[in-house]
Amino acid sequence: MKAVTVIPGVPESLRLRDVDKPKPGNGQVLLRPIRVGVCGTDKEIIEGKYGKAPPGSQYLILGHEALAVVEELGGGVDNVSVGDVVIPTVRRPVNCNLPVDYCPMGHYVEHGIWGLHGHAAEYSVTDAKYLVKVPKELVDVAVLTEPLSVVEKGIDVAMSIGRARFDWKPTNALILGAGPIGLLSTMVLRLMGLSTVTVATRPPDSLKARLVRDLGGTYVDAALTSVEGSFDIVVEATGSPQVTVDGLRHLAPNGVMVLLGVYPPGGSISNLGDLMTDSVLNNKVIVGSVNAGVKHFEMGLRHMADAKDRFGDWLSRLITKRATLDNYQEAYSWTHEDVKTVLEINPL
């Protein structure tokens, strides 16, 4: 079968490779991937900055944002059936008794990222207990579930922390970044009834700006306008240390900041002491989210259904580029105008 692969640690080793078709073991299923989303993590792996091949393999099959059909059941599987359309979660525990999305580094493997082959292939295998069934009416957009699950977890944790302290009722939110994570964060917070301001560096007439406004949110072009005011929730989705610091300055007393980026080393903060003292005196909280479990995948699917009811085809408009295995390289090239790229593998 054909699979999109890299040699981790070797920049620009991306290639379409003929590999053996996998077989499901006990508790596993064979999947026939329909489509796979592409994100910044794939870019870092292709650039040789991250990633790990499975034991005994020289290469890693990419693809952690997958929509697939169950093709074959391994032994002992009774929670799904052949023909079900499913989303596989990403992370699997290794010597960890915590919920899998809270296992520390070194105690998990991840499909298409770290020590476990992904789904950018004609077939893949995964553990059945980590599958989430997809309602028929969401199949067209369900490839967005994995990035949405990360958003769901971050916002859910933020809400839980706020309510644990007192009867916290946030009314507004600032979202930093208008990539897929920033836009999905805007969607979730708008569905929750919060007033939102989303900040990015694309022009006011860009697709990303229009997508924000079509949710009833306010878009700010950071190249033209500064953000004013304070916000109960701040979601950071750029991966920029400086933007993160600026966002913390806009966090209201008792507010919660959610970090959804992965940040490069370096950076500096002026007046760090004042910023820390302000956070202490005003009971501010910072939380991070980079991975999610079944609960937040299911939460994401429910919000997708609500979004279709309220915002029509908004979710499908996030998918701005499609490629196939025949021209797979196109899926792994990025521009500032792209929102979400998907690799179409097998027709449903």
pLDDT bracket for residue 94 (50, 70, 90): very high
Domain with 137, as residue range(s), is: 2-141+318-344
Question: Nearest 5°: CA angle at 254, between 306 and 212?
Answer: 35
Q: Does the residue 178 lie in any domain?
A: yes
Residue 308 lies in a domain: no
**Band of pLDDT at residue 268, cut at 50, 70 and 90:** confident
Residue 309 inside a domain? The answer is no
Same domain, 127 and 154: no
- Per the prediction, the chain carries an average pLDDT of 96
d(CA 343, CA 118): 13
93/192 same-domain check: no
- Tokens encoding 44: 């870092």
Percent of the chain topping pLDDT 90: 93
Domain harbouring 67, CATH code: 3.90.180.10
| 34 contacts: CB under 8 Å, gap ≥ 6 | 67, 68, 69, 85, 139, 143, 344, 345, 346, 347, 348
Contact criterion met (CB below 8 Å) for 101 and 157: no
pTM above 0.85, yes or no: yes
Q: Which of 89, 60, 51, 26 is nearest to 298 (CA)?
A: 89
Q: Looking at residue 252, what is its pLDDT?
A: 98
Residue with the two structure tokens 């960890």: 96
Do residue 277 and residue 165 come from a single domain? yes
Residues 172 and 254 in one domain: yes
Q: What is the pLDDT of residue 235?
A: 98
Q: Within a 10 A sphere around the Cβ of 277, how many other Cβ atoms?
A: 11
**Domain identity same for 225 and 324:** no
Q: What separation in angstroms does the CA of 178 have from each of 26, 30, 56, 205, 208?
A: 42, 35, 39, 13, 6
Q: In this structure, is residue 303 part of a structural domain?
A: no
- Distance between CA atoms of residues 208 and 200, nearest Å: 9
pLDDT at 332 over 90: yes
Whether 56 and 11 map to the same domain: the answer is yes
Please identify which residue in the block is written with the tokens 């610091």: 245
The mean pLDDT of 110-119, rounded to a whole number, is 98
pLDDT at 22: 98
Do the domain assignments include residue 298?
A: no
- The predicted pLDDT at position 237 comes to 97
Structurally, the chain folds into a number of domains equal to: 2
Q: pLDDT-based confidence at 270, cuts 50/70/90?
A: confident
53 and 118 in a common domain? yes
Q: How many CA atoms lie within 13 A of 338 on its CB side?
A: 15
Taking residues 60-85, report their average pLDDT: 98
**Residue 269, pLDDT score:** 80
What's residue 90's pLDDT?
98
Residues 31 and 84 in one domain: yes
Q: Kindly compute the dihedral angle of the four CA atoms of residues 27, 30, 34, 35, in this order, to the nearest 10 degrees.
A: 70
Does 160 share its domain with 239? yes
Range with the poorest average pLDDT among 57-61, 272-276, 328-332: 272-276
231 located within any domain: yes
**The two structure tokens encoding residue 51:** 């990633």
What's the confidence (pLDDT) of residue 291?
93
Rounded to 5 degrees, what angle do the CA atoms 222, 262, 140 make? 80
Same domain, yes or no: 153 and 284: yes
3-state helix, strand, coil in the chain (%, to 5): 30, 30, 40
pLDDT over 90 (residue 21): yes
On whether both 220 and 278 belong to a single domain, the answer is: yes
Whichever domain contains 269, its CATH number is 3.40.50.720
Decide which of 244, 273, 288 is a domain's last residue. 288
Q: Is residue 305 part of a domain?
A: no
Q: Which residue has the tokens 């059909």?
A: 69
- The pLDDT tens digits of the residues spanning 214-267 come to 999 999 999 999 999 999 999 999 999 999 999 999 999 999 999 998 888 887
The span from the CA of 274 to the CA of 321, in Å, is 44
Residues 244 and 207 in one domain: yes
What pLDDT, on the 0 to 100 scale, is given for residue 330? Answer: 96
Q: What is the pLDDT of residue 58?
A: 95
Specify whether the CB–CB gap between 176 and 199 falls below 8 A: yes
26 lies in a domain?
yes
The pLDDT score that the predictor gives to residue 64 is: 98
Q: Given this model, what pLDDT does residue 246 score? A: 92
The percent of residues above 70 in pLDDT, for the chain, comes to 100
